[in-house]
Structure 1
Amino acid sequence: MTARRPGGDRRTVHARFSVRELPGITVTAPDEGTAAAARRTAQRALTEAGRGHLGGRVELRTPRTAARGPRRRHAVRRAADRAVALAVAACLRGDTTGVHVPIRPPASPRTSPR
């Protein structure tokens, strides 16, 4: 029998934030584009919360299926953006658990009625 991850991992972004006293954000993410976006989101969330002087570490896990096309990558980055913002807010509230955000499937191209 092989071990399997619980269902939903392929359609979810996981984020965890831990605060530290030194300014600056360290991001662990599967690709540099997502990492840069996560870093900006964490900095913005800390600043909006009045804690811009703090720094932290973001651990971000996204599914590997993001490489299927630009619309899919965009959906994953949007979910990662939401997950990081929620993880920073949860950490500032004192919650130590990570955040799971579902990836919304990319919208299909609109077709005009005839």
Structure 2
Amino acid sequence: MKEEGMGLNGWLDPNGIFYECKYGEHHVLASHLQTTGDALQDKNWININSTRHPTGVTEGIVGITAKPTTKQIKWINENMENFDTHQINDINIAKGLNYF
């Protein structure tokens, strides 16, 4: 597990392929794919964020908005050590909702 604010940033597509991007630049990747972040999430892409702000505040998100695909679950499970504590909490919430 990574230190808070030092986890992964990017999009995880339904085929279990991770597209890394910088924090706050998910829209840039979506634009490169000629779409929007909302449209990606509607297609079951998972938004993954982690940062440590200059003030020391940290945030981490794994935006699971629907049941992940088998390939997404496999990728998440294989990369747990790369998520920060905030992100792991989000994953555990999704597991509690029987998304996994």
Superposition TM-score, scaled by structure 1 size:
0.24
Query: Which structure's residues are more often helix, by fraction?
Result: 1
Superposition TM-score, scaled by structure 2 size:
0.26
Q: Which has the larger radius of gyration?
A: 1
